[in-house]
Amino acid sequence: MSSKPSPVFFGSVINGTQARFASFAGKLNKIIEKLDFSTIDKKDKVAIKMHLGFHDGYQTVPVFFVRRIVKAVKDAGGYPFVTDNPTAVYNAVDRGYTAETCGCPIIPVAGVKDGYTKKVEINFGNVKTLELAGVMHDADVLVDLTHAKGHNTCGFGGAFKNIALGGYHGPSRWNKIHGVEHSIPYFDKDKITPEYAKKLVETCPEDCIKYDEEKDEFKILFGMCNQCWKCMEADKDVGALDIKQENFAMFQELLAIASKEVLKTFDEKKQFFINFAIDITGACDCWGLAQPPVIHDIGIIAGRDIVAVDHATLDLIAKAGLVESLIPPYYRNLNLDPEADLHPFQRLHGPMKNPYLVTEYGEKLGLGTRNYELVEVLSPEETKDMEAPQTVSEASPSFF
Ligand code: SF4
């Protein structure tokens, strides 16, 4: 770890007094001030990379805040646009995101047919190349605007995940990045006869062991594996399976590598990372359904160092802990043992989905430091004795 801590600005959802300046929205203003958009040059094209949700998955960064960030970018002289994958862009209106509500255009990240891309060399595991989204490549400035939440494949969906999966076209995302876990062998082909493969399929309560008889193809979908080890138990006398931590970790290492390729296309002074840790669900926004927020609302975590911002976000989530009454029953391998040294997202998704790995890999790649200094803005302690207006609601019609 680097000895010089990176500043990470934090605005809690808790306000110390009933005044707009001290509220969560007021804290976003202060954080934007601290982030200092003055490094955005006049007429810079500013990509505000978001996840705009999918179907009924509306628990993303509220348009109220997007609009405010868009305005701040415009005030700095930039030309902002919101961007995400084409499906999310086309139906963003269903979740309240339009050019009118956001205050700027919404552009598909790799073009209208998801084919406007630039090939980048990756050479990691079974992934030789990826197709980087052309619109991200063209932009001058990146605002990585992220809804912090859990993620079934790697535990955590934060700033890294937003640009690593969201910064590439669909086939790169779904076929390559989501297939990297198969780079390390995890079964002995000689021991997996068709009959035995079918037996192993039956052992998995999560339906993540797949066998294609026609192709004689056996695989485990690691994204849904919660490490219950029922398959390993059933296999103990045969020893055909050998699922390792490395299989799970490869996905996170690739997230860091893919993020590096995206970040390379932006000047260091033109990268901003803003995580909204509110409405923190167990799974990703792409699930397309409403989910219970399993962690209480925390606040905004922002800075210019992606490693520090994601690391601080994970620490704050760890401190908050799970709201047990809101955990849905489909987390079947839930570990609530207080003695177990696990992050809340590991308690949901299994111990091998350590959400901190991505920041560790990111740091090794030189993308930032896990050594951060949390700078809280307008803390409740700071604002509780400040003078607040007598009334905050409309006392009489103010429209005219
Ligand atoms: S560990 Fe559990 S969830 Fe994972 S593949 Fe085996 S049976 Fe399925």
Residue 160 pLDDT? 98
Mean pLDDT across 160-173: 97
Mean pLDDT across 136-161: 97
Residue 56 pLDDT? 95
Residue 362, token pair as written in the block: 């990111």
Q: Where are the beta strands (DSSP E) in the chain?
A: 6-12, 45-49, 79-84, 106-108, 117-124, 127-133, 141-147, 149-151, 155-157, 209-212, 217-220, 271-277, 280-281, 293-295, 299-303, 372-376
Domain annotation covers residue 21: yes
Domain annotation covers residue 262: yes
Q: Please check whether residues 230 and 312 belong to one and the same domain.
A: no
Residue 399 pLDDT? 73
Residue 1 pLDDT? 54
Residue 391 pLDDT? 73
Which of 204, 226, 348 to mutate to test ligand 1, by most ligand atoms within 8 A of the CB atom? 204
3-state secondary structure of 387: coil
Whether 19 has a pLDDT exceeding 90, the answer reads yes
Whether 75 has a pLDDT exceeding 90, the answer reads yes
How many secondary structure helices (H) and strands (E) does the chain include? Answer: 14, 16
Residue 393 pLDDT? 80
Mean pLDDT across 54-62: 96
Least trusted range by pLDDT, from 17-21, 365-369, 384-388, 391-395: 391-395
Strand partners of residue 148? none
Alpha helices (runs of H) in the chain, residue ranges in sequence order? 24-35, 63-75, 86-90, 99-102, 134-138, 159-164, 170-171, 194-203, 230-234, 245-263, 306-320, 344-349, 357-364, 380-383
Q: Please check whether residues 263 and 350 belong to one and the same domain.
A: yes
The pLDDT > 90 percentage for the chain reads 95
Q: Please check whether residues 234 and 159 belong to one and the same domain.
A: no
3-state secondary structure of 213: coil
What is the distance between the alpha carbons of residues 190 and 382, in angstroms, rounded to a whole number? Answer: 66
Mean pLDDT across 146-159: 97
Domain annotation covers residue 342: yes
CA-wise closest residue to 267 among 34, 39, 8: 39
Residue 389 pLDDT? 82
Q: What is the pLDDT of residues 217-233, one digit of tens each?
A: 999 999 999 999 999 99
Q: Please check whether residues 205 and 262 belong to one and the same domain.
A: no
Q: Is the CB of 383 under 6 A from ligand 1?
A: no
Q: Please check whether residues 65 and 98 belong to one and the same domain.
A: yes
Cα of 259 vs centre of ligand 1, distance in Å, is: 29
Residue 3 pLDDT? 67
Cα of 95 vs centre of ligand 1, distance in Å, is: 34
Q: What's the CATH code of the domain at 239?
A: 3.30.70.20
Q: What's the CATH code of the domain at 28?
A: 3.40.50
Query: 280-281 and 127-133: which strand pairing?
Result: unpaired
**Residue written as token pair 């209208």:** 112
Residue with CA nearest ligand 1 atom 2: 228
Q: If pLDDT is split at 50, 70 and 90, which confidence band does 388 have? A: confident
Which of 152, 153, 186, 230 to mutate to test ligand 1, by most ligand atoms within 8 A of the CB atom? 230
What global pTM score does this model have? 0.97
What is the distance between the alpha carbons of residues 394 and 64, in angstroms, rounded to a whole number? Answer: 19
Is the Cβ–Cβ distance between 165 and 358 less than 8 Å?
no
Domain annotation covers residue 64: yes
Other Cβ atoms less than 10 A from the Cβ of 152: the count is 21
Q: Please check whether residues 200 and 271 belong to one and the same domain.
A: no
Residue 122, token pair as written in the block: 């990756």
Whether 394 has a pLDDT exceeding 90, the answer reads no
Domain annotation covers residue 352: yes
Domain residues for 39? 6-180+254-383
Residue 396 pLDDT? 79
| 149: DSSP letter | E
The chain-wide mean pLDDT, for the chain, equals 96
Domain annotation covers residue 190: yes
Whether 2 has a pLDDT exceeding 60, the answer reads no
The pLDDT > 70 percentage for the chain reads 99
Whether 390 has a pLDDT exceeding 90, the answer reads no
Number of domains in the chain: 2
Q: Please check whether residues 349 and 377 belong to one and the same domain.
A: yes
Q: Please check whether residues 189 and 293 belong to one and the same domain.
A: no
Q: Is the CB of 230 under 6 A from ligand 1?
A: yes
Q: Please check whether residues 227 and 300 belong to one and the same domain.
A: no
For 222, half-sphere exposure in the C-beta direction (CA atoms, 13 angstrom radius) is: 27
Q: Is the CB of 231 under 6 A from ligand 1?
A: yes
Whether 380 has a pLDDT exceeding 90, the answer reads yes
Nearest atom, ligand 1, residue 228 CA: 2
For 346, half-sphere exposure in the C-beta direction (CA atoms, 13 angstrom radius) is: 17
Q: Please check whether residues 166 and 302 belong to one and the same domain.
A: yes
Domain annotation covers residue 388: no
Q: Please check whether residues 168 and 190 belong to one and the same domain.
A: no
74 or 393: which leads in pLDDT:
74
Domain annotation covers residue 350: yes
Other Cβ atoms less than 10 A from the Cβ of 365: the count is 15
Residue 351 pLDDT? 97
Q: Is the CB of 201 under 6 A from ligand 1?
A: no
CA-wise closest residue to 255 among 152, 128, 137, 122: 122
Residue 398 pLDDT? 79
Q: Please check whether residues 347 and 292 belong to one and the same domain.
A: yes
